[in-house]
Amino acid sequence: MRNMENAQPARIGDAAGTLPRKSRLLVTGGAGFIGANFVHHWLEMHPGDRVVVLDALTYAGNLANLEPVKGHPDLKFVQGNICDTPKVERLLREEGIDTIVHFAAESHVDRSIHGPDAFIETNVHGTHSMLKAARKVWLEEKTVPRHRFHHVSTDEVYGSLGPKDPAFHERTAYAPNSPYSASKAASDHLVRAYHHTYGLQVTTSNCSNNYGPFHFPEKLIPLMIVNLLHGRALPIYGDGRNVRDWLHVSDHCRGIDLILRNGRPGEVYNIGGGVESENLELVETLCAVADDAFAALQDLCSRFSGCPAARGDKSSSLIQFVKDRPGHDRRYAIDCGKAERELGYRAQVSLAQGLRNTFDWYVQNEWWWRAVMDGSYQRWVETHYR
């Protein structure tokens, strides 16, 4: 297995003839958590490539996520909805786009339980809108000689695993258990169909649970960090024994990069972190990270005096168990063997280091998470973790 950092794969299209050496990307959802991290990654790793971000700027889309690359000469931001097919078509033509990286999606299971309609609209109809636009401009109008449509999906489409079950692989049968995962499964099937029916050059990646900078604080890790700093309860669903594979967002971005450069059209690649952890164990680790940080840095004690660690107490005292959510999948695990063999992918960030880095990022970027935690966010937390 090659080390991904040391591997020197061809640029897009060099070996497989897929795309030009200098690419022009449309990144949907590029102001969201994973999308913004991908934009940062691509601009750094591929100087000279054009990156156009299309984002509707809903609750999880935030221009502050792109602040570190604001003013970059190769970046353009466009506010718009992926369901607006004519707008997408115009962007593809006007910008000469040859690569779509499709992140835009409603992505939180809890929200899908309380309001599934938005998930069907964005994840199913929105993906179909993107595919229709790509087919018209790329295949019918032939605006670019070569193209690629990359669809970013989730391991949740595979359903739930038992304690001893083997990890999900690319041939695992789909068995989605929430409106969110069902909507993503539908979008995956549409992408596959547009390849086999119309010849659209597509790839799909199914990733495990991401974490890292710019993660909206409704998700487990950032929610725990923000609550911990405030000295608020750390709510854990059920018995806390649900297991997830955790993937640092930087590893995810490297994985997508490898798929775009060397992935075979029509193929699916699983991208995971290779580390399974129970939710309770994960939160306890975060508490230990906080305790160490507060013990080492007196400044934290004055800035976040509500945290138990500021008084020398254990942060884990904040852990509280709450009613489990409906249909809560018990375990996810990702088999990345195909991506390792074909692309040289391997996660580089350990869970222990990734959690420390993520905690430090939230401490250092208090301005960012305070700005997104408005009244609607507070009401959402009260609804789901009452």
Sign, CA dihedral 15-25-263-194, equals negative
Quick one: tokens of 154? 């989730």
Find out whether 124 and 185 touch, Cβ atoms under 8 Å. Answer: no
- Tell me, yes or no, if 155 is annotated catalytic: yes
Quick one: tokens of 39? 């934009």
Alpha helices in 199-297 (DSSP H): 220-230, 249-262, 279-296
Quick one: tokens of 144? 């670019």
Catalytic residue selected from 89, 106, 110, 156: 156
User: Which of helix, strand or coil describes residue 169?
Assistant: coil
CA pair distance 363, 317, nearest whole angstrom: 20
- Tell me, yes or no, if 211 is annotated catalytic: no
CA pair distance 13, 181, nearest whole angstrom: 32
CA pair distance 176, 185, nearest whole angstrom: 7
Distances (CA, A) of 65 to 38, 43, 86, 260, 351: 11, 14, 27, 23, 23
- Tell me, yes or no, if 345 is annotated catalytic: no
Catalytic residue selected from 158, 180, 211, 385: 180
Catalytic residue selected from 49, 155, 188, 291: 155
Q: Mind telling me the catalytic residues?
A: 155-156, 180
